[in-house]
């Protein structure tokens, strides 16, 4: 059974009625309601009695001396009988099949401790989509709303001493007790948009935000870091970098007061519709570091007007340390007017490289312009397997990669091949890459490629290559750059 525990303190009575009707309309039949009046609320209690008396579901109305939402939730938990508890808000209207989806997940997956998704605001004012479960990210910022269910045995109690951010503290303690989360894509309920008088509104004021954040961090021994990584266009990569270098990750670090000294942004679009939003990730107080991604470099070189390039380069060059991943990208960005240094984004690799496969096998990641010549190379090497790139692949199953791109800039697969001792045969001029000039005639290109692949097949793992890229792509390499005083 699922228990809805609902504190009521001066609720909007019209929304409260919608809240209860939403529960009554659930496709899940086995649920109960524990409504806690946080101080006398006769009108709210009357609405609940009127609606619930027509239902077969068990319910209970409890009144306590006013003490706040956390006290009311704890008081309601004493009366809950279900296996799964959800601490609901009186201004939330649940989607018809949400509760059933929650319970089915709990029953099908005993390893799951909590289930959550996104939620919407009334009157089409947007919503909060949330994101897949990551305990590391939860220790940086909360992305799970109060109004989602957990197994009752994981209930840690609500901290009644916190003025705000109680939900963050609550879910941190649930996870610390062993609760693993399951993210459901979509929106489970709608709720009122936060106001200055709501719990969220009171807790989010700039003058109180840092004090309250610091209090929760202290309770959970969360280290205050000096560096924060962010990204508008490539969150997955930015989170990976933050984990690698021991930094925080925030979607919008400039939106709230913080203690960060350096903001590292991964990716920056110069498209007129996006550039201003990308620039707003920084504030005036931060040291600013920008990693131009491969896509950004191509966009800048091919798709942005010279007027825009002049405007943005004049804006970014004086205030921001800018990095690109290879010399070719630096060459292109220099032509666009940007002052960049070469610094690959780090890759963590804690395990020793695995041996090369017994049967030679190469991943093929090429621009369509090279399709015909690579086909001839494949026909000349019947004893070597060439596999087109696509989807998720374990790169250590391959001897190496054939990588040919028109813009001649490095990508993640190339870096991972290099750091694990694999062969890279490419039109990239980078250390330990088997460079093949694609500007040769097709015949010469094919002959040279076949010769290089056969030489690579005879070559073992290269320790010097592994050691070079272990240093070049190490998190420490980037951290050393970030901690240099007055680098901006």
Residue 196 DSSP code:
T
pTM for this entry = 0.85
CATH of the domain at 365: 3.40.50
Going across the sheet that includes 423-426, the strands are: 385-388, 361-366, 400-404, 423-426, 434-435
Extract the tokens encoding 370: 């090279």
Expressed as residue numbers, the domain containing 326 is: 227-346
**pLDDT class for 47, splitting at 50, 70, 90?**
very high
Extract the tokens encoding 424: 């890279």
Instruction: Quote the pLDDT of residue 350.
Output: 67
Does residue 179 share a domain with residue 58? yes
Does residue 259 share a domain with residue 407? no
Does residue 271 share a domain with residue 213? no
Does residue 236 share a domain with residue 196? no
Contacts for 114 with CB less than 8 Å, ≥ 6 apart = 144, 148, 149, 150, 151, 154, 171, 174, 179, 180, 181, 182
* pLDDT tops 80 at residue 203: no
Instruction: Quote the pLDDT of residue 125.
Output: 83
Does residue 107 share a domain with residue 159? yes
Extract the tokens encoding 203: 């807790």
Instruction: Quote the pLDDT of residue 197.
Output: 60
Tens digits of residue pLDDT in 325-335: 988 899 999 99
* pLDDT tops 50 at residue 487: no
Does residue 323 share a domain with residue 264? yes
Does residue 302 share a domain with residue 185? no
**pLDDT class for 97, splitting at 50, 70, 90?**
very high
CB contact burial 155-172 (16+ within 10 A = b; e otherwise): bbebbeebebbbbbbbbb
Q: Is position 222 within any domain?
A: no
Does residue 459 share a domain with residue 390? yes
Helices (H), 134-250: 135-138, 166-176, 199-203, 206-219, 235-245
């Amino acid at each position: 059974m699922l228990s809805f525990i609902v504190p009521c303190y001066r609720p909007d009575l019209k929304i409260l009625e919608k809240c209860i009707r939403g529960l009554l309309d659930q496709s899940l039949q086995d649920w109960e309601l524990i409504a806690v009046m946080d101080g006398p609320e006769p009108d709210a209690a009357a609405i609940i009695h009127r609606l619930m008396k027509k239902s077969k579901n068990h319910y209970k109305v409890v009144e306590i001396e006013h003490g706040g939402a956390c006290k009311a939730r704890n008081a309601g938990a004493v009366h809950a009988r279900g296996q799964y508890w959800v601490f609901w808000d009186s201004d939330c209207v649940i989607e018809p099949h949400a509760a059933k989806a929650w319970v089915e997940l709990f029953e099908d997956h005993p390893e799951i401790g909590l289930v959550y998704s996104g939620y919407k605001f009334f009157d089409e004012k947007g919503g909060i989509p949330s994101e897949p479960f990551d305990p590391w990210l939860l220790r940086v910022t909360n992305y799970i709303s109060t109004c989602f269910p957990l197994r009752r045995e994981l209930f840690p109690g609500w901290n009644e001493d916190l003025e705000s951010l109680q939900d963050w503290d609550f879910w941190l303690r649930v996870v610390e007790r062993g609760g693993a989360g399951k993210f459901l894509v979509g929106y489970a309920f709608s709720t009122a948009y936060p106001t200055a008088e709501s719990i969220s509104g009171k807790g989010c004021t700039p003058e109180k935000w840092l004090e309250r954040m610091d209090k929760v961090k202290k309770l959970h021994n969360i280290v205050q870091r000096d560096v924060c990584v962010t990204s508008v266009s490539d969150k997955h990569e930015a989170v990976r970098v933050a984990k690698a270098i021991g930094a925080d990750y925030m979607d919008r670090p400039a939106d709230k007061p913080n203690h960060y000294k350096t903001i590292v942004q991964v990716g920056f679009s110069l498209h007129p519709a996006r550039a201003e939003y990308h620039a707003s990730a920084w504030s005036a107080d931060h040291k600013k570091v920008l990693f131009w991604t491969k896509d950004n470099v191509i966009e800048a070189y091919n798709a942005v007007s010279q007027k825009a390039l002049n405007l943005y380069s004049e804006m970014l060059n004086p205030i921001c340390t800018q990095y690109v991943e290879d010399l070719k990208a630096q060459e292109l960005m220099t032509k666009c007017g940007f002052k960049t240094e070469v610094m690959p984004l780090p890759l963590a690799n804690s395990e020793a490289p695995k041996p090369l496969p017994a049967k030679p096998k190469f991943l093929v990641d090429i621009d369509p312009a090279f399709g015909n010549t690579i086909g001839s190379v494949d026909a000349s090497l019947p004893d070597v397997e060439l596999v087109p790139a696509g989807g998720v692949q374990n790169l250590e199953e391959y001897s190496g990669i054939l990588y040919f791109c028109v813009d001649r800039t490095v990508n993640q697969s190339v870096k991972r091949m290099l750091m694990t001792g694999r062969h890279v045969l490419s039109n990239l001029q980078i250390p330990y890459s088997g460079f093949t000039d694609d500007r040769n005639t097709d015949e010469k290109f094919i002959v040279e490629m076949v010769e290089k692949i056969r030489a690579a097949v005879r070559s073992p793992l290269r320790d010097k290559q592994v050691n070079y890229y272990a240093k070049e792509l190490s998190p420490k390499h980037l951290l050393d750059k970030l901690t240099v005083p007055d680098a901006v």
